[in-house]
Chain A
Amino acid sequence: MSATVSHEPPPAWAVTYEQWQAFVDLLCEERTVYAPQAQNGATVYRALAPADKVAWGQPPSTVSPRNVFLPQTETLFRYRSVAGSMRIEPGEAAKPAVLLGAAPCDLRAIAVLDAVYAAGQPDPYYVARRQQTVIIARACVSPRPTCFCTAMGGDPFGSARSDLFVTDLGDRYLIEALTRAGRALAGRQRWPVVCTAERTAASRLAAAARAALPPPDVPPNLCQLPKTLVDSPLWHTVAERCLGCAVCAYVCPTCHCFDIVDEPGCQGCGKRVRNWDSCQFAVYSLEASGHNPRPSSRERVRNRVLDKLAYVEQKTGLLGCVGCGRCVRACPVNIDLREIIAEVRHV
């Protein structure tokens, strides 16, 4: 989990696709391996079953890999009423796992999740999963037209927070070990050590990927939220088109809201469950009194966008958007966060 500080380039190997597959097969025997899988055009991170294929495809996936650390539905504990007293049984314990195939934008998003769930008062469920999960990320060799990580201070070859980092050189993989956990995994393999030509090839791919993305930038610092922006008619325009679904929030790698519910079963049994939730739903902010502080789509849309561009940064020091473009691709009415960011610059 923790990155080692070193001025030397990390240890690296050049492995054939067959050698890599054998390695993944081995991992699957030892740990739960979460990898992107394609399901009718949508790519999601799921635990690999023996016959499953990894959908390497073009990152990023349709839905981000945050479900590996924060399952969309998670049983926190089960309860059972026995002879007048309540018995509590823990939910499923975290097991050793691998997150395979995360993109550099996903790695930056994990920093946001860490700031929310692992700092201050740590969330034991998140921390247990996070600590037991090795992250094998991959360089983003061919960004999508919707990608804008560079415009949010990111990099398509940014490897921070990964244990192993994979670059597809076109005929083999360049594997770098960035942490002790990564070195421990890779060190067991008899892989050929990387040569200069392979490092050069990777640098060339990185330059090409960067050239395909928007110029390096960061969005305007909105931490001192200007009133003109809060009151801008922009939000009304966006809200008028917005359907009020949660596609943007549920595909997002940094969104992290949840709802806790008790699901009663029969005969005094039940479970307490934590589900993803989204500020785009009217019921999200509906209070028990019936008052809703975000009564219309305008307030809800504004909240989500400003969460990405201001609120998360105010709270954690990190930008709430990593520029993965998932929401841009998935929005049913083509609300394009890049256009909103451009407008925000002019407000």
Chain B
Amino acid sequence: MNEATQRLCALASELLSSGRVDVVLGFERGSLPLRSRPLHARTPTEAGRLVLDGFSESNLARFLCNLAGQRVGIVARGCEARSLTVLLQEHQIEREQVIIIAVPCVGIIDRRRIEAETPATVLAAAEVEDEILLRTHTDEIRLPRQEYLCRACQACDAPAPQGDFTLGEPLAHTPNCNLADGAGAQSPAERWAAFATETARCIRCYACREACPLCYCPECFVDHSQPHWAPGGVEPKGVQFWHIIRAYHQAGRCARCGACERACPMGISLVHLTDKLNHIVEDLFGPGTGLELDAQARGVAKEEQG
């Protein structure tokens, strides 16, 4: 257990035993290699299971709206903090309800890429400094960590949030890719073809929606039956409609965490679409979705100016 994890377990345990929070949202080791999973720690013993690692691929802010009326300690990386800010701006949670345990993030590991590139079955995985260590039946494989980060993490320019508590050292981090770069150079017809091909394998499981911290509507537009806005099923018309409207509902709100893409069982490039929108919004309204706790939501600010 590394030092930051030890400090996290101690802090979470203290917050729970002192009664300052009812639950600490964090991650625990999963049942599979390369996987850590969300944990709702409600006792100091459960808090002892918390981990901080690059295998934690969900966005914990997604669980906040389910915890109305409870005081929550949330382990927040940059993306969780940005999501939390938007949830506050949109009045979905109360600031007093949340204690933010800020952890500077070194990025989430793209396990799908590792699985695709490793022909043998990965039996165990660990992070050791700037390397990922994999064990298979026959080999031990070392991969450079930085090269195996999720695309959203490669592009992240705010990995170290402000919190009520901060664990670990601040990070020096520069984004090294621009997700929607390719799309700008394509003609509309090429963009459409790429989008149609990418979404053709969607199975409408809505993991993207459910993994998203900002898709919190009690009733999603695709679930309306009267009016029946969008065809269900997997015919292209309905699938494309779903993906376009999902992305549009994120315009100016998307926290750029990439949780949607990591949740997708079909490996659909979802970040590609939202990130294009994010760039457009930033060009028009300036940077910083979810960066400033005191700022108003973008739509509100615009109305008042107008």
Contacts and interface: CB of A to CB of B under 8 A. Distances in A.
Contact of A273 (B57, B233, B266): B233
A44 B204 CA distance: 14
Given A62-B265, A275-B233, A250 B205 contact: yes
A281 B210 CA distance: 10
B58 interface: yes
Contacts of B58: 332-333
Interface residues of A, number: 44
B205 A244 contact: no
Contacts of B116: 41
B178 to A, nearest CB: 21
Q: Most chain-B CB neighbours within 10 Å: which of A73, A243, A259? A: A243
B35 A73 contact: no
Interface stretch (A106-114, A221-229, A334-342): A334-342
Interface string B185-219: 00000000000000001011111011100000001
Contact of A245 (B35, B57, B205, B234): B205
B207 A332 contact: yes
Contacts of B32: 145-146, 328-329, 334, 336
Contacts of A263: 231
Contacts of B204: 72, 246, 250, 275-276
A281 B211 CA distance: 14
A57 to B, nearest CB: 10
A40 B231 contact: no
A39 B262 CA distance: 16
Nearest to B268: A40
B121 A241 contact: no
Interface string A281-317: 1110000000000000000000000000000000000
Nearest to B264: A332
Interface string A225-247: 00000000000000011011111
A222 B207 CA distance: 30
B210 A40 contact: no
B62 A243 contact: yes
B267 interface: yes
A27 interface: no
Interface in A248-273: 249-251, 259, 261, 263, 273
A73 B233 CA distance: 5
Contacts of B211: 243, 245, 332
A144 interface: yes
B31 interface: yes
A42 interface: yes
B210 A41 contact: no
B207 A247 contact: yes
A241 B35 CA distance: 14
A245 B203 CA distance: 11
Given A41-B115, A333-B38, A247 B30 contact: no
B170 interface: no
Given A40-B267, A41-B115, A333-B58, 7 more contacts: A44-B201, A142-B121, A241-B39, A244-B210, A245-B211, A247-B263, A334-B37
